[in-house]
């Protein structure tokens, strides 16, 4: 539906403002924000446990206990990564440890950057979505105003025609019928949103029923007069 309204708006030329491209991101940031908070909370707990392990390297029971806490917040390592870590222990090369630590810092920085971008995209998506909603609402209002003007013009035209019928033909029924329909057409846009819609609709139906009865009454009366005229002998 949004696409239809926006396409219609572009064709109508209602505004020269071009909407920016909406990022491929959700318009509500609660899910992304919650994921970021969960990742940060888990990272804090793992970092705290590992820090305590490093501070108490000479106390094996603390190292074992805190290492178990850290692993509790992590998924099981892949066989490949586990093999690489064991090779570092076997080689006991300070450069390999430094390289792994630098790789970890880069990965953490990338994760933080990606999360920040996701939050930024979400905010921009929400902004563009709000702009689209506002544009759609404006288009709907303009379409409603245009529709209302058409009904008003049609109503005025019918009332004028009804007046001309009365002026030139002296046909009260025809004039009232056309003028009545014109008045209903002119009132239609306002009646639809009125709290008195039901009563106005009942009144309109009553008016139409009255006109119908009037037409029927005149038709029957004219038929009777015509029959009487035929049966009356000429002198």
pLDDT one-digit tens code per residue, 178-223: 777 777 777 766 666 666 667 766 776 777 777 677 777 766 666 6
Can you say whether the dihedral through the CA atoms of 52, 57, 62, 68 is positive or negative? positive
User: Is the model's pLDDT at 94 over the cut of 80?
Assistant: yes
Going by pLDDT thresholds of 50, 70 and 90, the confidence category of residue 106 is very high
Ramachandran sector of residue 120 (left: φ over 0; alpha: ψ -120 to 50; beta: rest): alpha
Model pTM?
Answer: 0.47
Pair of tokens at residue 175:
């004039």
Give the mean model confidence (pLDDT) for residues 52-79.
88
Going by pLDDT thresholds of 50, 70 and 90, the confidence category of residue 2 is very low
Average pLDDT of the chain is 76
pLDDT one-digit tens code per residue, 128-181: 888 888 888 888 888 777 777 887 888 888 888 888 888 887 777 677 777 777
Higher pLDDT, 129 or 227: 129
Ramachandran sector of residue 142 (left: φ over 0; alpha: ψ -120 to 50; beta: rest): alpha
Q: What percent of the chain has pLDDT over 70?
A: 73
pLDDT one-digit tens code per residue, 29-42: 666 677 777 878 88
Residues 6+ apart with CB under 8 A from 26: 32, 122, 125
Going by pLDDT thresholds of 50, 70 and 90, the confidence category of residue 10 is very low
Higher pLDDT, 48 or 31: 48
User: Is the model's pLDDT at 72 over the cut of 80?
Assistant: yes
Q: What percent of the chain has pLDDT over 90?
A: 2
Going by pLDDT thresholds of 50, 70 and 90, the confidence category of residue 82 is confident
> What is the structure's pLDDT at 12?
44
Question: Could you give the C-alpha distances from 83 to 80, 87, 88, 90, 234, in angstroms and in order?
Answer: 5, 6, 9, 10, 128
> What is the structure's pLDDT at 7?
40
């Amino acid at each position: 539906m949004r696409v239809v309204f926006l396409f219609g708006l572009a064709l109508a030329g209602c505004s020269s403002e071009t909407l920016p491209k909406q990022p491929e991101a959700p318009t509500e940031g609660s899910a992304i924000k919650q994921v970021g908070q969960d990742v940060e909370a888990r990272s804090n707990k793992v970092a705290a446990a590992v820090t305590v392990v490093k501070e108490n390297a000479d106390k094996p029971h603390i190292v074992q206990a805190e290492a178990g806490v850290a692993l509790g917040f992590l998924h099981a390592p892949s066989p490949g990564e586990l093999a690489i870590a064991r090779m570092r222990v076997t080689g006991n090369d300070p450069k390999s440890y430094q390289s792994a630590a630098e790789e970890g810092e880069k990965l953490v920085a990338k994760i933080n950057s990606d999360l920040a971008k996701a939050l930024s995209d979400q905010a921009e998506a929400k902004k563009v979505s709000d702009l689209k909603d506002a544009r759609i609402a404006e288009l709907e209002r303009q379409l409603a105003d245009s529709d209302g003007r058409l009904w008003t013009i049609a109503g005025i035209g019918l009332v004028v025609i009804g007046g001309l019928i009365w002026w030139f033909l002296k046909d009260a029924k025809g004039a009232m019928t056309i003028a009545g329909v014109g008045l209903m057409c002119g009132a239609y846009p306002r009646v639809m949103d009125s709290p008195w819609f039901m009563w106005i609709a009942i009144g309109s139906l009553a008016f139409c029923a009255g006109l119908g009865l009037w037409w029927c009454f005149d038709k029957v009366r004219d038929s009777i007069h015509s029959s009487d005229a035929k049966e009356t002998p000429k002198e």
